[in-house]
Amino acid sequence: MAKISFEKSLKQLEEIVQEIESGNLPLEKAMKKFEEGVKLSKYCSEKLDETEKKISVLLHDNNGDITEEPFMPENEAKND
């Protein structure tokens, strides 16, 4: 899934939402779609987080003398 772009993922998620909304799916399929939707949502969410973090890092690294203090505590927390 990693290759799919954020926008595509978001689009797929929307399609899934519409499919589920239509109510025409059998339960298993709906369930499967839902599962897929959750994953997509999670993927998108992570993507956004990631991007945000990236921006943060970028800004921290490049702007001013912030690098004196320990680097990106959020990331460290993640790596624990």
Partner 1 sequence: MSRNLRKIYTVSELTSEIKSLLEESFPFVWISGEISNLSTPVSGHYYFTLKDENAHIRAVMFRGQNRKLKFMLEDGLSIIGLGRINLYAPRGTYQIIFEYIEPKGIGALQLAFEKLKIRLSEEGLFDDKYKTPLPFLPNKICVITSPTGAVIHDIIDIINRRFYNISIEIIPVKVQGDGAIPEIVSAFDIVNKLAESDGSAEVVILARGGGSIEDLAAFNSEEVARAVFASKIPVVSAIGHETDYTISDFVADLRAPTPSAAAELVVPLKNELKNRCDEMFKNLIARIYNNIERLNSILKEMNTRLVDPRKNIQDFRLRIDDYINRLLKSIYNVINRWRDQLMWMTKSLYATSPYKHIDNLSVTLKRLNYNLLSYIDIYIQNRRSITIVLASRLNDLSPVAILDRGYSITRTIPDAVVVRDPKIVNLGQDLEVMLSKGSLICRVEGKS
Q: Coil, strand, or helix at residue 44?
A: helix
In Å, what is the CA distance from 26 to each residue of 9, 17, 79, 80?
23, 14, 41, 42
The one-letter amino acid code at 35 reads E
Contact 11, 38 (CB under 8 A): no
Spatial separation of the C-alpha atoms in residues 8 and 37, rounded to whole Å: 12
Task: Name which of partner 1, a second copy, none residue 39 binds, using a CB cut-off of 5 to 8 Å depending on partner kind.
Answer: a second copy
**Contacting positions for a second copy (CB under 8 A):** 1-2, 5-7, 26-28, 31, 34-35, 38-39, 41-43, 45-49, 51, 54-55, 58-59, 61-63, 65-67, 71-74, 77
**Contacting positions for partner 1 (CB under 8 A):** 5-7, 10, 13-14, 16-17, 20-21, 23, 25-28, 30-31, 34, 37-38, 41, 44-45, 47-60, 63, 65-66, 68, 71-72, 74-76, 79-80
